[in-house]
Amino acid sequence: MDSGPLVKRLGLKELGQTDKEFENPYHPSRNGDVKSINSTVVRSAACFALIAIGLACTRNQITLGGPLSLTVSSNTPVSVSDSLVLQYDVTGQNLAGMQVLWGDGQIDSVAFLGAQTAGGRRPHLYDAEGTYTIRATAVDQYQGSTVSELSVTITP
């Protein structure tokens, strides 16, 4: 009795077939080309995972990172002969970069290349004593920009 090629391909026992006549191609003790039921399970699990991810993304919105924020601080006061060090921490969703206006006509910039968080230090040497306002502007490609200002004192 032939139940069709699908029954044989799936390794199912045909109706009326004896155990001796039955050859299960998925059985691990079989010599030659051994196919494992595990590969079928893995393929099924992978398909399920792709379907689950697809269903999770049906909102048409994926939020990464956090709200755009920028904090700056420094080692002020410093003397004219010492470098002021600006420390910064930035959070966003797709950070492009940051521009620093040092208050003495000098401009510095830092690229973040799409990061969600960034932090670091930028040194700067002032030519004259005085009080300067540092203006740092962080730009996020999704959330726009934010500004943080810091007043620093340079001593003789």
Q: Number of structural domains, the chain?
A: 2
Q: Check whether residue 77 and residue 122 sit in a common domain.
A: yes
In tens, the pLDDT along 46-78 reads 656 656 565 555 556 666 789 999 999 999 999
Three-state secondary structure readout of 135-150: EEEEEECCCEEEEEEE
Q: ∠ at Cα 9 (7, 13), nearest 5°? A: 40
pTM exceeds cut of 0.75: no
Q: Check whether residue 81 and residue 42 sit in a common domain.
A: no
Q: Check whether residue 51 and residue 90 sit in a common domain.
A: no
Tokens of 86: 């600006």
Burial class (CB in 10 A: 0-12, 13-18, 19+), 65: middle
In tens, the pLDDT along 6-27 reads 555 555 556 666 665 555 555 5
